[in-house]
């Protein structure tokens, strides 16, 4: 598989088969991703691979927090506090595609809530990857981390696995740190659901559009 194919095949998968992911595959994926670039070779990534009983315990605690209305206490702001065009429109369109694929009507708040809750189960993927960064590091290391995450997801495609990057898995960092034993200085950035795609699931049938090159590019000569 070449890089272009992997990039075009990668998508956010939200339904997985009840099939164990081989540890050897996860190790190969991480072994490749560790070669991602980072400023001054700082290699800021810290990865927790969570499955089995630990995953059940972790998602149960996060779901309890969600259903009881506990306030989230994210370690950083992933999204803007105020949405403006064109980002607001793209966000709305993305949500509409998701709910249309699931046949969830706008007024059906209960089903929408249940779909959001699925985030905290990593969409029932067998493995949840969680990513931490040392609090002493600055913005450049967040850029490094993005390259690491993309490399990881593309390598997963080559291994026949599907992924979904998730900001929602970082909404209750204190719960995650407490269960996994990470210190407060380890900031929780995000998570990734990883497993074998359920190709029959309607939620996996749509693809979000991308802007054409001329929309976001200027050439200077």
DSSP string spanning 171-215? S-HHHHHHHHT--TTEEEEEEEEEE-B-TT-GGGS-------HHH
Helix (H) or strand (E) holding 128, with range, is: strand 127-134
- pLDDT for 16 equals 98
Q: Model pTM?
A: 0.96
67-115 confidence digits (pLDDT tens)? 999 988 899 999 999 999 999 999 999 999 999 999 999 899 999 999 9
Say how far apart CA 18 and CA 124 lie, in whole Å: 8
Specify the fold of 3-78+119-206: NADH Oxidase (3.40.109)
Q: Determine contact, residues 127/26, Cβ cutoff 8 Å.
A: yes
Say how far apart CA 60 and CA 172 lie, in whole Å: 12
Mean pLDDT over 209-221 rounds to 97
Q: Determine contact, residues 130/169, Cβ cutoff 8 Å.
A: yes
- pLDDT for 106 equals 86
Q: Determine contact, residues 131/47, Cβ cutoff 8 Å.
A: yes
DSSP H stretches of helix in the chain: 3-9, 23-33, 52-67, 87-101, 109-117, 139-158, 173-180, 213-216
13-50 confidence digits (pLDDT tens)? 999 999 999 999 999 999 999 999 999 999 999 999 99
> Residue 10: what are its φ and ψ, rounded to 5°?
-65, 135
User: What is the sign of the dihedral through the CA atoms of 182, 48, 169 and 121?
Assistant: negative
137-190 confidence digits (pLDDT tens)? 999 999 999 999 999 999 999 999 999 999 999 999 999 999 999 999 999 999
Domain boundaries, the chain: 3-78+119-206
């Amino acid at each position: 598989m070449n890089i272009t194919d992997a990039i075009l095949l990668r998508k956010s998968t939200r339904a997985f088969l009840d099939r164990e992911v081989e540890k050897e595959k996860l190790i190969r994926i991480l072994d490749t991703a560790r070669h991602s670039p980072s400023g001054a070779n700082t290699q800021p990534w810290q990865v927790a691979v969570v499955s089995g009983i630990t995953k059940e315990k972790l998602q149960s605690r996060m779901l309890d927090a969600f259903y009881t209305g506990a306030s989230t206490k994210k370690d950083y702001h992933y999204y803007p506090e105020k949405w403006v065009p064109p980002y607001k429109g793209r966000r709305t369109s993305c949500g509409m595609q998701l709910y249309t694929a699931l046949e969830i009507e706008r007024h059906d708040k209960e089903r929408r809530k249940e779909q959001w809750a699925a985030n905290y189960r990593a969409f029932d993927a067998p493995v949840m990857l969680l990513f931490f960064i040392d609090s002493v590091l600055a913005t450049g290391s967040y850029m490094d981390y993005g390259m690491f995450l993309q490399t990881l997801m593309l390598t997963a495609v080559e291994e026949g696995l599907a992924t979904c990057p998730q900001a929602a898995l970082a909404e209750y960092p204190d719960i995650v740190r407490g269960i996994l034993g990470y210190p407060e200085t380890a900031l929780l950035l995000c998570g990734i659901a990883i497993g074998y795609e359920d190709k029959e699931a309607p939620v996996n049938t749509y693809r979000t559009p991308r802007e054409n090159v001329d929309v976001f590019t200027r050439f200077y000569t």
